Structure 1
């Protein structure tokens, strides 16, 4: 375990070609801006054409590609389009998701299916495609969340969808190491992004104040450059990196 400020650089973001899936969201938009400020060449992926066009205006010259998280084939197409438009990819980051609340006996199967599709199957589709085009020294990175390791009552289906992605990343990490591709999981605590207020079902329970998303985004950019495999936050919100996550 080590502070991100003590990172050993393994990737230089200056000039790096990075696809950010979910670039129209709060975290994805902030991460795209941070990467661009460090000299990266971002490609933006989102599902809403109008929001994607607005995001693209903030990053002149950055490719913008559409995807639908309910359509895994569109996630793969987004990767291949970005790879063509940028002339290669050095990193692919998924920063999108959906949340739902409610007791397990009361949450409908359709909600569970939605959360699994958006939070697990769609990121996996992005990364399956990425692993076919990316070479040694590249990174795939996903936002999961603290619920992936500490499932919460009233959030069983949401917790399970994030835990499924975390488990998938852990297995793929071991597969990808032989090819020189690093797998980074970003698992912060509750952040002040308004995400909980956009649930597909139920109402969020009372929560403590969320952490600073900007602080986490800066730490993610550091972790992409460092030899990091897991980024989490300490109880006080401090980003912490683990260089070997399993």
Structure 2
């Protein structure tokens, strides 16, 4: 897809990754719409994009996710892409993480993005795209974060199935699976404490690769062992 002039909704635009991606897309000429949880942070983020529509959503309220999509589509006269860049993480052995935390991770990391995309699929046409940050844990689950990994793997599986459904309509699906990034995300768990981790990768390098992948109509973005983002035209 051509990003110059593209109408793109970024859900999670107030976060480190979402904010960096919104800025990258705007530099490439895209017309962004911003969605976030905190109204004040959302208003501050939107100052960098005069005229960009904003929408507040609650990941526990799927209807609010759908409303954000429809608001953005109405304000921009349509949508060419919808990207989710939000989530929650928790650490701890599976036997110690409570059901409430597991439910929270599923709601935020799986069901809320799916609600955004379900609505987006009803308003977007041929040549458009949906994309989500799932992470490397979607394909390589790690001990000490089973429920988090499961929630991301579930979203990745959902995207795989929807990709097959959406091809006939000309809608692309991009699964973004970077490794650990230096965003501070692991320092804000809803439960537990992050184990020692290697230095995180550069989020700006990754969002530049995400924009490249969107322009190339790619289906998958991975991170090589040396940290280099790899754009794959077809998911394996």
TMscore range, shorter length: over 0.9
Q: Which of 61, 70, 77 does residue 71 from structure 1 map onto? A: 61
The aligned counterpart of 2:110 is 120
The aligned counterpart of 1:83 is 73
The aligned counterpart of 2:82 is 92
Q: Which of 16, 19, 28 does residue 6 from structure 2 map onto? A: 16
1:66-85 Cα offsets, whole Å, 9 max, x none, are 10001000000000000000
Aligned-residue offset at 1:201? 0.2
Aligned residues: 236
Does 2:154 align with 1:154?
no
1:38-76 Cα offsets, whole Å, 9 max, x none, are 110000000100000100111111101110001000000
Aligned-residue offset at 1:241? 1.4
> Secondary structure at the residue paired with 1:83?
helix
The aligned counterpart of 2:230 is 240
Aligned-residue offset at 1:223? 0.6
TM normalised by structure 1 equals 0.95
Q: Which of 43, 46, 67 does residue 53 from structure 1 map onto? A: 43
Does 2:219 align with 1:229?
yes
Q: Distance in 2 between matches of 1:227 and 1:132?
A: 20
Aligned-residue offset at 1:227? 2.4
Does 2:175 align with 1:185?
yes
Q: Distance in 2 between matches of 1:47 and 1:209?
A: 28
> Secondary structure at the residue paired with 2:195?
coil
The aligned counterpart of 1:220 is 210
Q: Distance in 2 between matches of 1:242 and 1:171?
A: 18
Matches within 5 A, 1:135-146: 135-146=125-136
Higher normalized contact order (CA 8 Å, seq sep 6+, divided by chain length): 1
Which blocks of at least 5 consecutive residues in structure 1 are unaligned? 1-10
> Secondary structure at the residue paired with 1:43?
strand
The aligned counterpart of 2:201 is 211
Aligned-residue offset at 1:12? 1.1
The aligned counterpart of 2:100 is 110
Q: CA RMSD in A?
A: 0.6
Aligned-residue offset at 1:142? 0.2
The aligned counterpart of 1:36 is 26
Q: Distance in 2 between matches of 1:64 and 1:72?
A: 17
